[in-house]
Amino acid sequence: MTQAIEKALEIAGIGIIGVFIFMAIFYLLILALDTFLPYKEEVSAEGNSVEVETEDETQN
């Protein structure tokens, strides 16, 4: 194996591992977001939930 190929494989290896590390950390950070900031039904200014508002509009 020539030195050039070794270098190429090294860069490719580090590159793909680097992409996976970046994405894996991103994955963990998104999981953390979900854990610490779980979805709650969003509340309108009048204190009614958005869903309730939609239903009211439909009924009207």
Partner 1 sequence: MNTLLSLGDNLQTFWGFTGFANAEPGHIIMILVGLLFIFLAIKFEFEPLLLIPIGFGMLIGNIPFDEAANLKVGIYEEGSVLNILYQGVVQGWYPPLIFLGIGAMTDFSALIANPKLILIGAACQFGIFGAYIIALQLGFEPNQAGAIGIIGGADGPTAIFLSSKLAPNLMGAIAVSAYSYMALVPIIQPPFMRLLTTKKERVIHMTPPRVISQTEKILFPIVGLLLTAFLVPSGLPLLGMLFFGNLLKESGVTRRLAETARGPLIDIVTILLGLTVGVSTQATTFLTAQSVKVFIIGALSFIIATIAGILFVKIFNLFLKKENKINPLIGNAGVSAVPDSARISQIIGLEYDPSNYLLMHAMGPNVAGVIGSAVAAGIMLGFLG
The neighbour count for residue 48, using CB atoms within 10 Å, is 13
Q: Which of 1, 6, 16, 46 binds partner 1 (CB under 8 A)?
A: 16
Q: Which of 1, 3, 42, 46 binds partner 1 (CB under 8 A)?
A: 42
- Collect all residues with Cβ–Cβ distance below 8 Å to 42 and sequence separation of at least 6: 49, 50
Binding mask 20-39 for partner 1 (x = CB under 8 A): xxxxxxxx-xxx-xx--xxx
Residue 46 CB burial class (10 angstroms; 0-12, 13-18, ≥19): exposed
Provide the binding-site residues for partner 1, judged by CB under 8 A.
4-5, 7-9, 11-12, 14-16, 18-27, 29-31, 33-34, 37-40, 42
